[in-house]
A and B are shown apart, each in its own frame.
Chain A
Amino acid sequence: MKPLYRTLIVALTTLCAANILAGLAPVKIGLTEWLTAIRQTTGTAQNWSMFHSIPRVQSLQVRVIASDREGNQHEFGPGLPGLQEIEPHDKIRYYYTFDRIFTPGGEPYRESYIRNLSQALGKKNPNLVAFNIHLRVENTHPQNTPQKISRLLERIRKSGKAAIEQKDVFGPFPVKSNGSS
């Protein structure tokens, strides 16, 4: 093997190894922006936080409820395109997508989703004027529960329920009718 190739291999591999090993560095060490950008661009970020804390959600359901000019309500599935019915429990990526859209930090995705949803509703039924997104989550450990009394066993014994239902409504948003900007 040519010396140049050997040198290149050693240099690149050492850099790659350093990037991988940085995954074990204390979390508080910040990375420079350019290094984060390189990692994101090349898909080599080292974030292996799978199940580092408890999964809090027992079930998640999303419904889209739109109203027409006469005030009647129509219910649709949240899936795009086509307003299809989706069961997040069966399709894990939809669960991740909805969960991240509707949590803090997901605003850009939420805006994009709402925009596309609005267009889809307008195409489906030009009579629709506005819609809301209804999120129903069964949460086993709501964020505001003090950890000291949050053991699941105690809560199930007290209430008989493993999860607490939480509902959120996003909207109302206008439906984009065909031809309007």
Chain B
Amino acid sequence: MAPVEFLKMIWLRPVDSRRYALVRMAFAAVTLLHIADLWPYRIALLCNDGMIGQVTGSGSVPGFYISIYALLDTPLAVTASFLIAASATILLGCGKWPRAMLAVVFLFLLSVMQHAPISAAGWDFILMNLGFILLFSPLGNQWNPGNLLLKKGISADTEFMPQYGLTLIQLQVFVIYWQTVILKIDNYFWQTGDFMTYFMVSHHSRFPGSWVINWQGLLDMMTYMTLLVELAIPVLLWIPKTRRIGLIIGIGFHLGIALLGVNLGMFSIVMISTFVAFLNPWPRAGKKEIEISPPPQEIRS
């Protein structure tokens, strides 16, 4: 099979547009939570007389500085930007002008991180990468929470869209988990199993204390299990037959992080939301399909 035809098959295979609608709604919901999480910090991190000055923000990253906070640097302006972004996520979730609302949301996420990168947490970058992928992906516009999830109102006709957006998100999930494992297995504390013990006495722990020394054996095992789980989750999610177990393990893993760690709830929520890209609740039985030329079955290797 020619490489170009292979790529066409990978990226252009038709999938139910409702899958994109689910991803859009999940992204919108999680971003709304993220905005609420950022709210208490907005004045300190984004205003000119806060902790990060204008000049520093603009020179803080390589590349072009693209941030609305170069212009919006007063408490009122920053607060207004948060309210606009929150409104955009709600409209995005409801399928109203989704592409434009997505652009607003992505600009907001990018602006915050470009202005205040030193305040960044891991889930900021996950949301930015997801937002970037969705910017040029199908969004299942005709679906909203009412007609898709609650089965109310007029149901839209089933439409099929090329799967490239979902595949990119799945790929992103793979790389997030596997890159972190690659970095960890080269680290002394992960090799010796010490990581969980140090985590449980750190400022991240919900239950800090010297009790860890009595449970070091169990914590060492949890360290190694973490590596195995992170390697396994994207694979289990990707294979249809193991998807359910992948969801159980993945959700359980991230709920465990949220339980044991303080201030890591948002990270868990964002990662769980990425699992939506793997879900396929609707069998591909519709009559309308995006025509691919040539159709996949005619592509010869």
A interface residues, Cβ below 8 angstroms from B? 1, 3, 6, 9-10, 12-14, 16-17, 20-21, 23-24, 27, 33, 36-60, 79-81, 88-97, 100-101, 106, 108-109, 111-113, 115-116, 119-120, 140-141, 147, 151-153, 156-157, 160, 162-163
Residue of A nearest to B193 (CB): A151
Q: Identify 18 residue pairs between A and B in the complex whose beta-carbon atoms are under 8 Å apart, listed by A's number.
A: A6-B293, A14-B7, A16-B132, A20-B168, A24-B179, A43-B125, A48-B183, A50-B267, A53-B187, A58-B201, A58-B208, A81-B43, A116-B51, A152-B212, A153-B213, A157-B213, A162-B201, A162-B208
Contact flags (1/0) for B128-151 with A, using CB distance below 8 Å? Answer: 110111001000000000000000
Of the residues B51, B167, B209, contact of A113 by C-beta under 8 Å: B51
Number of B positions contacting A (CB below 8 A): 85
Task: Determine the distance from Cα of A71 to Cα of B191 in the docked complex, in whole angstroms.
Answer: 53
B interface residues, Cβ below 8 angstroms from A? 4, 7-8, 11-12, 38, 40-41, 43-45, 47, 49-53, 55-56, 59-64, 66, 106, 109-110, 113-114, 116, 118-122, 125, 128-129, 131-133, 136, 162, 164, 167-168, 171-172, 175-176, 178-180, 182-184, 187-190, 192, 194-195, 197-199, 201-204, 208-210, 212-213, 216, 262-263, 267, 290-293
Residue of A nearest to B53 (CB): A112
- Nearest-CB distance from A88 to chain B (Å)? 7
Task: Determine the distance from Cα of A179 to Cα of B178 in the docked complex, in whole angstroms.
Answer: 55
Residue of A nearest to B186 (CB): A52
List 13 other contacts, CB 8 Å, given A51-B180, A101-B118, A109-B52.
A9-B164, A43-B128, A49-B180, A52-B184, A54-B189, A56-B202, A93-B38, A93-B41, A97-B51, A120-B49, A140-B202, A152-B213, A162-B208
Of the residues A1, A12, A46, contact of B291 by C-beta under 8 Å: A1
Residue of B nearest to A160 (CB): B210
Q: Is A147 a contact partner of B197 (Cβ separation < 8 A)?
A: no
Residue of B nearest to A16 (CB): B168
Q: A119: which B residues are within 8 A, CB to CB?
A: 49
Q: Is B136 a contact partner of A12 (Cβ separation < 8 A)?
A: yes
- Nearest-CB distance from A33 to chain B (Å)? 7
- Nearest-CB distance from B120 to chain A (Å)? 7
